[in-house]
Chains A and B, each alone.
Chain A
């Protein structure tokens, strides 16, 4: 149940005795159109490594050690049209620790978020320079992970009409270098004063106690922007890009736009259609591209519902790209044509249900569900709702939904052709 602590600041408490931990996540959300994503990312590095209470990383880490090895981190992400900064803290639960770790953890987060290390109203210049340098190095080296490079490459092609979506949630090296002490401070002040805030606390806790403790965060009321979360599902023509790099294994990624309303019957059909297409080890992509044709080490698809994006990822022999492209098209055509048995459909649905049940054993998954429920009215509240949604999907609905999967982007990362 979401509690409004003050205007624009929500708290969702998920009491459970299942875990030996308490998880606190404080999410700051702002529309991408208003977010300096590079500054917000740099901000996470600066806040994570220093505060007025703990001015060095060593001091901050030492304090976390004294909290029974609490794990703390600040990260960024996207929720459709929104940008998210999340400060997360996982603590040993109070019953196990025999001390009030939750209270100390909330006080720690309040300090990190409200009392950063400032000198004369500006962030520490040394910390700023070092973290900007390190983050820049990190962003530049992302291409060393070829799978990441291919995923980002596909998204750039797929969202070539929407720079906010094409840009990763952590920004680009160029945007990062443009961040100044002033713009960092501005991003911080804006985040703290104007962002929508959603707090999630999960563990063996009492709602009223948590609500009382959260007052320590002292967040001021704010007016929330009214920007919808989901990205459009309207189809566009196909785009293609080939990039070369010194790689042994080529990466071929495809992007399809699926059309459905979130958590409508069509959405559940999309979930099932994606699972059948490439979402599991029983899927057509896995069995026919990886196992039978022996063409790829991996071949799978995933559904990003908030962005209506079905993405196929493969790692293949460079010369096999045309053959793999055709095989992938054949598998989607098979889903669209209903070339699968009723048994297969049921097995796929049962697998989705089993995965969802298993996910309910993960505190991180449950905390994430609580956030999504706070953000999206349609997000299923109970496991049973999701299970019913999946089990109700018919073969005809799968075929109809797969027919909306519109191939819009192809991205191939491959080796340089040999010079003759």
Chain B
């Protein structure tokens, strides 16, 4: 395997791409009991439109199909993959995001056997009308549960304002109505397209020998037949346009406190090149400088009762879309929205952006980055998410150190655009509790 040594974080990454295209990434952590493995595909909730293998025309799948497929892969004709992992003492799980689906296990023994179980269950789909229909009940419950979570509702509401004509605004789970349309044929078709090894990465972090991992995986893959890899044609297009955004929306729900989310739509594509990652770092430092715990501006808002501990902010950059979200539980939603807009209007001319604060925030970010390496799952998830990119988690420290105050100011000029701002408010309904 290729060996990459990152001396600043005292980690070594081993990588190899198999003949069928599957990427294998391994980090050995001999002090740990656990090994954490993640098999991920570059396929998520936004990928509902694509050209199937061997076809020439686009198909449009129901919303929620990637998540549905994730649930359904565990169940086979005569067993459930959960039980196979469980029989070795391992824990298994899976998750779907807007752009990725990942299957994982955590084991403290029999890593090689669990790797085989993981590869086999993900690569060997089994869907029938009966099992697909049963799953509709389980996922229906999951959808209902999220409907009862007002924090989630406000976040999804914000996405709806930002991306009314882009699938980023559709809940990962889909809706009761959309999942009702899902058939075994659709699932097989999506699996054949997006679960080809060349669209997947296996990331293994923990107490494991990299060569031994590779041998098991290579032998397993050599036993299986896959059609030749063909380029994936996706229907989802970048959405960086402010024209069709909804400016503001308020709904009523049975909540105790009003909730607000303010969004800023990114209008330039941010990819996962070194330049793109550096921009993301600069954008997050910018938000921290303005809205973080040590910000004089945040202190002023906090003292005035405009925000409290529930206030949070994020910058999310995904394939085809990127945006800033700010918000929390508030007493006066409109006052907070106005205050945030006033900050955005200042673009890079922010009193909080001094060289001294910037240096300190960067120092803190570096420390937090090093500290995050305690978590095997954190390392594996980050490596896996960037497995198709030119940089990885272990480059982050170096990229962070190169970011300057000027980069942060440039990020402010690019992101802080009043035309790209929208807000979503949830107000308490009468009689709610």
Contacts and interface: CB of A to CB of B under 8 A. Distances in A.
Interface in A90-149: 90, 92, 96-97, 126, 130, 133-134, 137-138, 140-141, 143-146
B374 interface: yes
Interface string A65-85: 111111100000000000000
A357 B108 contact: yes
- Find the residue from A58, A280, A290, A294 having the highest chain B CB count within 10 A: A58
B148 A137 contact: no
Contacts of A316: 141
Contacts of B108: 353-354, 357-358
A246 B309 contact: no
A388 to B, nearest CB: 16
A70 B370 CA distance: 11
B82 A281 contact: yes
A361 B376 contact: yes
B256 interface: yes
B148 A354 contact: no
Contacts of A233: none
Contact of B141 (A281, A315, A363): A315
Nearest to B360: A65
Contact of B33 (A62, A347, A360): A360
A137 B331 CA distance: 10
Given A248-B147, A294-B138, A361-B32, A354 B109 contact: yes
Interface in A277-303: 280-282, 290-291, 294-297
B329 A141 contact: yes
A418 interface: no
Contacts of A353: 89, 108
A245 interface: yes
Given A58-B296, A68-B363, A137-B329, A249 B80 contact: no
B145 interface: yes
A96 B305 CA distance: 39
B243 interface: no
Given A68-B364, A90-B371, A280 B144 contact: no
Interface residues of B, number: 67
Given A66-B360, A354-B91, A249 B141 contact: yes
Nearest to A296: B141
A68 B33 CA distance: 28
B137 interface: yes
Interface string B270-287: 000000000000000000
A296 B140 CA distance: 9
Contact of B366 (A68, A145, A294): A68
Interface string B144-176: 110111110000000000000000000000000
Nearest to B141: A297
A248 B370 CA distance: 42
A294 B141 CA distance: 9
Given A61-B294, A68-B367, A297-B138, A140 B374 contact: no
A351 interface: yes
Contact of B364 (A17, A64, A245, A280): A64
B86 A281 contact: yes
A57 B311 CA distance: 14
Interface string B403-433: 0000000000000000000000000010011
Contacts of B255: 141, 144
A239 interface: no
A18 interface: yes
A297 B139 CA distance: 7
A362 B366 CA distance: 21
Contacts of A140: 256-257
B321 interface: no
Contacts of B32: 18, 361
Nearest to B292: A61
A317 interface: yes
A19 interface: yes
Nearest to A292: B134
A316 B142 CA distance: 9
Contacts of A61: 292-294
B90 A354 contact: yes
21 contacts: A20-B370, A20-B374, A57-B299, A58-B293, A58-B295, A65-B363, A65-B364, A69-B368, A71-B371, A90-B371, A144-B255, A144-B257, A245-B254, A246-B432, A248-B144, A249-B144, A280-B86, A296-B141, A317-B141, A351-B86, A354-B108
Interface of B: 31-34, 80, 82-83, 86-92, 106-109, 134-135, 137-138, 141-142, 144-145, 147-151, 254-257, 292-296, 298-299, 302-303, 305, 308-310, 329, 331, 357, 360-361, 363-368, 370-371, 373-374, 376, 429, 432-433
Given A248-B144, A281-B92, A351-B91, 8 more contacts: A65-B363, A145-B149, A280-B86, A280-B91, A295-B141, A355-B91, A361-B32, A361-B33
5 closest A-B pairs by beta carbon, nearest first, are: A68-B367, A69-B364, A297-B141, A354-B89, A69-B367
